[in-house]
A and B are shown apart, each in its own frame.
Chain A
Amino acid sequence: MDIASELSRLLEGWMRWLRLRRALAWCLHGWVIGLAWGLLLGAAGMWQARLLRAEFLALAAVLALSGACLAGLIAFAWPLRRLEAARYFDRVFRLEERVSTALEFADAPASDLLQRQAQDAWNAAQRVKPARDLPLRFSRSEGLLALTLTLVIGLTGWRGTAWFQAAQQARAVQEAVAEQKQAMAEMLVKIENDPLLSEEQKRALSAPLEEALNALQDQPSLEGSVSILTAAGEKLQALSDPQAQELAQALSEAGRQLSLQEGSPLQGVGQQLAQGDAVAAATQLSQLDVSNLSQPEAEALASQLETLAQSLASIDPTLAAQLNQAAQAFRQGDRAAAGQALQQAAQTLAQAGHQMAFSQAAAQSAAQLQQGAGRVLAAGGGQAMQGAAGSQAGAGNSQGGAAAGGAGAGRGEGESGSSPLGNEAGSSPIPQNNGAGDGGKRAYEPIYAPSLLGGEGGPLVGLPQSGEDGEAVGVGPTAPGKEGGSLVPYDEVYAQYEEFNRRALENGQVPLQFMQIIRNYFDALKP
């Protein structure tokens, strides 16, 4: 038997055991370190409102597990030199340097003493039982530390609801802001590709959007994001021209009338106008061939032009004058002058079309931004505010619809509202052009007609004779000569005030610099 080889084989087995023992010990080290890091990073994440409960727990678990696995693997794979391992085993197994000496002198010239030494080492090594002499053992203090850390993490996960909710809100705000950024990017593309807009108009419309987009890249706070979106919306809103909206409405109406004139040369123009495409209508008007018209046809055309001019007189006098001028030329039989006047009217109409498109785009963008600001604010308010957010968003759409002035910008669809109010608002079939101020997503407010005494459908009341008291219909809260007491408890009405305040804040009606003051005021009013 080659004792050196046998010793080496035995040593390999011991080394495997040692690796396993080290790996297990380091697993615990890694577990504790992972837990500590998990707690540290989790606490930092919670403090910065970035981690949800599940993420916090998952972070701690992943770090602890990965720490344990990594440490265990490294410990297991850590290189062990044979001779050093033999020296270590000599000490822990109390072999009195037998094995290390035998291995070291294995290649030395054979002598009786060395052979005896090797045999002695082999005999001593065979008596060793690694599992008994080098048992797998964990440090009790380290185990307690691991347990404590686990408990602290569990307790933090259980009791840190406030931090996790804050994180959830922050996350929702981030997502909402990201959505708005995406929407703004799409708006920019849409503006860029709009053929009705001139380059100058595109630049004017893109500037506030790009500015807001850049400002949002810096990940501002909730108030900051809302402020940026609101400010951009206001800038865009300022670009929209209410008169252009009115003109568009008037042209659309006039176009509908014209489109009903069968066989009229202006029927096509009317159809285009009815569809809201004033530029196409202008093109068609400029291409109108009036040379072949008979005099009755010219007279009819003149009448239609006069009607059109009349409907536009209050909104666009220039266009109306040009149309009248063309009509007058038709009546006088001066086709050339009529054609020239029509060309001028077409040019004016085209310009108006461009202006209307610009205004419409500005209004649409403004409405989307206002709506986005509401969504961001709603996200910051959490679940409880989502219904209100839906309501607010509806208001935004409504504004857009109003700004579009009949161009049909209001969408009136339910968004993220989860509260009954939000759902109801979202599903309300609000028609377009429902007027500024009405909520596109808001429920109709009940309007009660006043009960007129003696009126139709009202209660019948006998009129008193002269000098007699009349019939008492109801009792008021006050009586002559007495102070009236409040019948509504303050804590009941406060909720309404608070609700109005919240809506005003969400709708961007309160300037940013006053938001905190208003909040403080209503906080002070709390019953």
Chain B
Amino acid sequence: MSELSVERFCQIAEQIENEVGRVIVGQAEVVRPVLVSILAGGHVLLEGVPGLGKTMLIRTLGQALELKFSRIQFTPDLMPSDILGTEILTDQDGRRSFQFRPGPLFANLVLADEINRATPKTQSALLEAMQEGSVTVAQQTYRLEEPFFVMATQNPLEMEGTYPLPEAQLDRFFFKVNVNLPDVGEMAEILERTTGKDTPAAGRAASGADIVQMRELARTVPVASHVREYIAKLVLATHPENLHASPLVQKYVRYGASPRGGQALMLGAKVTALLAGRYNVAFEDIQAVALPALRHRLLLNFDGLAEGVNPDSVITELLGALPM
């Protein structure tokens, strides 16, 4: 049984949100999914145009969580060893040897900024770390310290010179969160906060150990069998050949979500339930995390791409059509 109580869970989560809120204005629809993802132990892909505070958000989270934070600016000439680390030749007492020098990936919270600007080779260097929580260099595997999160960002507009993330890579992101423009009030508040003399900073809200305990607690949240079946049906219904597939899915989707999508839904829903002060997963929890958990897992067909279909609309229609 987890030592952390549910009340403490909610308290820490609230503190994190409050601390982040001291720096990040608004963006609740971004902060909450990112927090859910962290508490579920998943990686997040943030997509938005430049200047919306993606990097700031992740940096602030790093501060609030008192985690070891590293930022990697992905560029086309970035090599895997630049992020994983490399072995260097050392001379110690006349004895030369190779010594592994960890790269920036060896942190708790890694910001992979503009991840789609790196080559697929470099992008793929993250696969093992994201999935296994380890790094293998020169036939030597190094465990990454828990908790380990990759927070990647990408710009949806400037596509020239970019390398879209392959499906295998995308699938490893727990959530994909769209960062949108703030409204007028939020924009005014941003201007006020960031152009004054003092720049706000987030205080410590939780430790890495707290996050690990919260993750363990979240995993113990009970899910009724019919709710589980709903998740399974929802995931399968994203495939066009499925019986429950909605018309939009049948028309525009080439390939639907993988079982990882279902896991993301389940874990995300569990955390959402706890954040709502509930001890069980409800359908509402699933629907709350369905968009960030599935939007990057739907592979659109030619028609969908040609017509610029938004996966969110496909998922929304599916949620409305699928019986509970």
Contacts and interface: CB of A to CB of B under 8 A. Distances in A.
A111 interface: yes
Contact of B284 (A96, A111, A112, A116): A96
Contacts of B226: 87, 100
Given A104-B225, A113-B6, A113-B221, A98 B1 contact: no
A98 B281 CA distance: 8
B28 interface: no
A97 interface: yes
A97 B283 contact: yes
A230 B5 CA distance: 103
Contact of A117 (B217, B280, B283, B324): B280
Given A91-B324, A100-B226, A113-B221, A120 B278 contact: yes
A112 B1 contact: yes
B279 interface: yes
A111 B220 contact: yes
A97 B280 contact: yes
B165 interface: no
A96 B277 CA distance: 12
Contact of A113 (B220, B225, B281, B284): B220
Contacts of B201: none
A98 B324 contact: no
Contacts of A112: 1, 5
A96 B282 contact: yes
A98 B284 CA distance: 12
A102 B227 CA distance: 13
Interface in B265-290: 278-284
B279 A116 contact: yes
A23 B124 CA distance: 62
Given A112-B1, A113-B279, A101 B224 contact: yes
B185 interface: no
B222 A113 contact: yes
B223 interface: yes
Contact of B279 (A87, A108, A120): A120
A101 B283 CA distance: 12
Contact of B222 (A91, A96, A101): A101
B227 A97 contact: yes
Contacts of A104: 222, 224-225
Interface in B198-242: 217, 220-227
Nearest to B274: A113
Contacts of A96: 278, 280, 282-284
A93 interface: no
A100 B5 CA distance: 23
A97 B1 contact: no
A100 B283 CA distance: 12
A100 B222 contact: no
A100 B223 CA distance: 10
Contacts of A111: 1, 220
Contacts of B224: 87, 97, 100-101, 104-105
A104 B222 CA distance: 10
A183 to B, nearest CB: 70
B324 A116 contact: no
Nearest to A90: B282
Contact of A101 (B1, B2, B280, B324): B280
Contacts of A117: 222, 279-280
A96 B284 CA distance: 7
Contacts of A87: 224, 226
Contacts of B6: 113, 116
A261 to B, nearest CB: 111
A416 B312 CA distance: 86
Interface in A114-137: 114, 116-117, 120-121
A117 B277 CA distance: 10
A102 B280 CA distance: 9
A113 B324 CA distance: 25
A87 B279 CA distance: 16
A386 B268 CA distance: 89
A97 B282 contact: yes
A324 B279 CA distance: 130
Contacts of B220: 111, 113
A109 B17 CA distance: 34
Pick from B6, B279, B284 the residue with the most CB of A within 10 Å: B279
A250 to B, nearest CB: 100
A112 B279 CA distance: 10
Nearest to A86: B224
A166 B220 CA distance: 78
Contacts of A120: 278-280
A105 B221 CA distance: 11
Interface in B1-19: 1-2, 5-6
A97 B279 contact: no
Contact of B223 (A91, A101, A121): A101
Nearest to B273: A96
B22 to A, nearest CB: 31
A329 to B, nearest CB: 116
A98 B222 CA distance: 10
Nearest to A118: B279
Given A111-B220, A113-B220, A116-B6, A98 B225 contact: no
A98 B226 CA distance: 12
Nearest to B225: A104
A101 B230 CA distance: 14
Contacts of B227: 97, 101
Pick from A91, A105, A113 the residue with the most CB of B within 10 Å: A113
A101 B2 CA distance: 20
Contacts of A97: 224, 227, 280-283
Nearest to B324: A91
A298 B3 CA distance: 147
Contacts of A91: 324
A100 B222 CA distance: 11
Contacts of A114: 222, 279
Nearest to A124: B278
A510 B226 CA distance: 83
Contacts of A105: 222, 224
A176 to B, nearest CB: 63
B222 to A, nearest CB: 5
A135 to B, nearest CB: 22
Nearest to A105: B222
A54 B226 CA distance: 54
Contacts of B280: 96-98, 101-102, 117, 120-121
A96 B227 CA distance: 11
A101 B223 CA distance: 7
A105 B226 CA distance: 13
A121 B222 CA distance: 12
A125 B233 CA distance: 28
Contacts of B281: 97, 101
B268 to A, nearest CB: 16
Nearest to B284: A96
Nearest to A121: B280
A108 B5 CA distance: 20
A105 B227 CA distance: 13
A39 B225 CA distance: 47
- The 9 lowest CB-CB distance pairs between A and B, nearest first, are A117-B279, A96-B282, A101-B280, A101-B224, A97-B282, A105-B222, A116-B279, A100-B224, A104-B224
27 contacts: A91-B324, A96-B280, A96-B284, A97-B281, A97-B282, A98-B278, A98-B282, A100-B226, A101-B222, A101-B224, A101-B280, A104-B222, A104-B225, A111-B1, A111-B220, A113-B1, A113-B6, A113-B217, A113-B220, A113-B222, A113-B279, A114-B222, A116-B6, A117-B280, A120-B278, A120-B280, A121-B280
Given A101-B280, A108-B222, 4 more contacts: A87-B226, A96-B282, A102-B280, A105-B222
